[in-house]
Amino acid sequence: MMNRIKQTDIEYRSRINKTLDYIEANLEKMLTLEELAAVANFSKFHFSRIFHAMTGETPFQFILRLRIEKAAYLIMANKNENITEIAYKCGFSDISVFSRNFKNHFNIPASRYRREKYENSNLSQPDSNKQQNDDRPSIYLSSDLQTIKWRTNMKLNKSVEVKDLPKMTVAYIRHIGPYKGDERLFEKIWNRLFSWAGARGLLGGKDFKSLVIYHDDPNVTIEDRLRLSVCITVPPETKVDGEIGKMEVEAGKYVIARFEINSQQFQQAWDWVYGNWFPASGFQPDDKPCFEIYPEEPKDGKFVVDICVPVKPV
């Protein structure tokens, strides 16, 4: 009996994860309850209750929060982009509705949010001290003439380049909640994912990658709502079930910054990408999820990690 209950719980979580992926991929569109219930394969009469019970939010509370938080991220990251244009891009058809909901969520208007966040971040003062100035990257063209690269003095950084990444199909296990510095959490999720993949012959191969996708900005979203997906690349036709989901990572242009770090230095690496590399690069973050790729297994407590952030010209 207990095993059956567990299987039902896993199936429900799988359907809700599929719905979360669908919402994130279509955030700028008008989404109906009937449409989301169909994605989850639940009756429209019960879908909202199930969604709320498993996420702590109704579907439209979740959609509204994601739209506001995406707008907040874009407002801070793309300082020259018009706030009204950002609101429309995030699915708001009425700027007054956006303004009211943004203020209700953050307790300040969007324009003031941009000003205060930018002034309080190291994005506004990349030359404010010698350390930051020493860490600013210099650009050069790679020998194959296919990618732009940067030289840096940042000790943890091994390379930085901007290049096009192809579309990737990934199988994932989703986590919602706090994760910063929690090595045991990541270890448990990786073990479950690798056990599933190993039994199906999905580990390894020329193009195999393991990655962690971050769906929310931890500077914007509260810890209890943060979403991440621990992933491996799989063939597009791969069948998934239970807690294992499947989604596509869009092709696009990314900055790929490689670091060699310990578990306590991930935040330092991410801060350098946003605070030092971006202001000197001529690029700004694009509005797609960022992720980490792990090209090697950890050794002696050290991780080799590629931080990948979608980019577009300023």
- Per the model's pLDDT, the better-predicted residue between 288 and 162 turns out to be 162
What per-residue confidence (pLDDT) applies to 183? 86
Q: Which residue has the higher pLDDT, 127 or 74?
A: 74
CB 41 within 8 A of CB 275: no
pLDDT grade, residue 119 (50/70/90)? confident
Q: Quick one: 163-313 is in which CATH superfamily?
A: Regulatory factor, effector binding domain (3.20.80.10)
Q: Does the model's pTM come out above 0.75?
A: yes
Q: Cα–Cα distance between 176 and 207 in angstroms, integer?
A: 28
Run of H or E residues at 248? strand 245-249
pLDDT in tens, 173-212: 999 999 988 889 999 999 999 999 999 999 988 889 999 9
pLDDT bracket for residue 223 (50, 70, 90): very high
Residue 127 has pLDDT above 70, yes or no: no
In sequence order, what DSSP letters do the residues of 209-229 get, joined into one string? -EEEEE-S-TTTS-GGG-EEE
CATH 1.10.10.60 in the chain, residues? Answer: 2-119
pLDDT over 70 (residue 276): yes
pLDDT averaged over the chain? 88
Predicted confidence at residue 76, as pLDDT, reads 87
Q: Are 70 and 101 in contact (CB under 8 A)?
A: no
Token output for 32: 């109906």
Calpha distance 194→276 (Å, rounded):
35
The CATH homologous superfamily to which domain 2-119 belongs is Homeodomain-like (1.10.10.60)
Q: Could you give the residue range(s) of every CATH 3.20.80.10 domain in the chain?
A: 163-313
Q: For residue range 138-176, what is the model confidence (pLDDT) as tens digits?
A: 666 555 556 778 878 788 999 999 999 999 999 999 999
Indicate the Cα dihedral angle 134, 135, 141, 145, nearest 10°: 160
**3-state SS class at 95:** helix
* Helix (H/G/I), strand (E/B), else coil: 35: helix
Across 79-101, average pLDDT: 93
In whole angstroms, give the CA distance from residue 69 to residue 55: 17
Confidence of residue 136 (pLDDT cuts 50, 70, 90): low
